[in-house]
Structure 1
Amino acid sequence: MRISQDLRYDAPLETVRAMLLDPAFREVVLQAQKVVRSDVEVSDDGGTTVVRVEQTQSTSQVPSFVRTLTGDEITITQVERWTGPDHAEVESTIPGAPGGVRGTNDLLEDGGATVVRVVREITVKVPLIGSKLAKFVASMHTKALEKEHAAGQAWLAGQ
């Protein structure tokens, strides 16, 4: 399953990129997403900026068919490899889960504003309920991006 979403910010590309690479911003986003625990690391790997976000979320508000697979909490690790000033390869995994999320973040400058184009491919390899799980993951990913976008707008307004 593929999802695509554009997040528009009224700021130049360099400012939006700096925000996305700032661990303090990532922590604000995680608070908005109401995670139970989190860890954010930003590092350099031979000229590639790597953003690693590990988050643990409660599953108390998810459908029971998901909770039977995950238990009371779910840990998600997202790794972004920023190979240039405007492009990142993104991978999200859940330890032990049959599938994952891969995609890209592309920053597109447009007249002083910047669009973050988010594209994701969601794969779930579970017989019978795989497509149902993929739709749930897509829905949760979209909601998380909406919270990130709201946090980003507030972050940039406070700059």
Structure 2
Amino acid sequence: MAVTTRTQTLIFDTPKEAVLRMLTDASFYQRKYEALGLQDISVQPTTHDNAPFAVLARFKAHTELPLPSWAKRVLPDTIGVEQMDYWSVDSARGGLQIHLQGTPVRISAAMGLSEEGDKVINTVQWRFDCPVPLVGKKLAEFVADDVCTKAERDHGFGRTQAERYR
């Protein structure tokens, strides 16, 4: 199995408590996906292991990276996405799992909030698994590029919304 990993550092200018309130509010996810222009959005509270907060979102998203012809056969232009985000307020740790319908790539991430001065840092440790022989590593890298680019855009929305949770 091919595995690609990435680390992202997402910085907030609001107190940690406000960021946690936002990240554990299901309505935040609905607003975020609507603001990002995703289609067929459904956001529902759910459960995940010992995490006190979990939300399952389903939506359709467009692949935004220029893909070579061989990758277009595996990654359609519009992808059905199922994403579960989960958080523990006590530990300020969470994670997410993403299933891209019709693709062999599985995506997961561990997240944790920390404070540095007046900044709150969300460190996201991404993992992209792809069992496709020969091209699995390259396919996982294409998906990683697309997901990390979208995560930056998602974070831009979150930075503006975090102020609402002060």
User: Which residue of the other structure, out of 38, 52, 57, is the alignment partner of 2:56?
Assistant: 52
Separation (CA, whole Å) in 2 of partners of 1:26 and 1:56: 14
Confirm or deny: 8 A CA contact 2:39 2:60 kept in the other structure.
yes
User: Which residue of the other structure, out of 26, 30, 35, is the alignment partner of 2:33?
Assistant: 30
What is the identity, as a one-letter code, of the residue corresponding to 2:98? S
Q: Specify the alignment match of 2:6 in structure 1.
A: 3
TM-score, structure 1 normalization: 0.83
Separation (CA, whole Å) in 2 of partners of 1:87 and 1:60: 29
Q: Specify the alignment match of 2:113 in structure 1.
A: 107
Q: Counterpart of 2:38 in 1: which secondary structure?
A: coil
User: Which residue of the other structure, out of 16, 21, 33, is the alignment partner of 1:18?
Assistant: 21
Confirm or deny: 8 A CA contact 2:11 2:121 kept in the other structure.
yes
* Mean Cα deviation higher: 8-17 or 62-71: 62-71
Tell me if 1:77 matches 2:82: yes
Instruction: Find runs of 4+ consecutive structure 1 residues off by over 6 angstroms.
Output: none
Higher relative contact order, chain-length normalized (CA < 8 Å, sep 6+): 2
Quote how far apart the aligned CAs of 1:53 are.
1.8
In structure 2, the gaps of 5 or more residues are: none
Q: Specify the alignment match of 1:149 in structure 2.
A: 155
Q: 1:90 to 1:47 in 2, by over 3 A?
A: closer
* Mean Cα deviation higher: 90-99 or 41-50: 41-50
**RMSD (CA atoms):** 2.4
Separation (CA, whole Å) in 2 of partners of 1:135 and 1:41: 30
Confirm or deny: 8 A CA contact 2:95 2:110 kept in the other structure.
yes
Q: Counterpart of 1:81 in 2: which secondary structure?
A: strand
In structure 1, the gaps of 5 or more residues are: none
The sequence identity of aligned pairs, in percent, is 24
What is the identity, as a one-letter code, of the residue corresponding to 1:129? V
Confirm or deny: 8 A CA contact 1:8 1:116 kept in the other structure.
yes
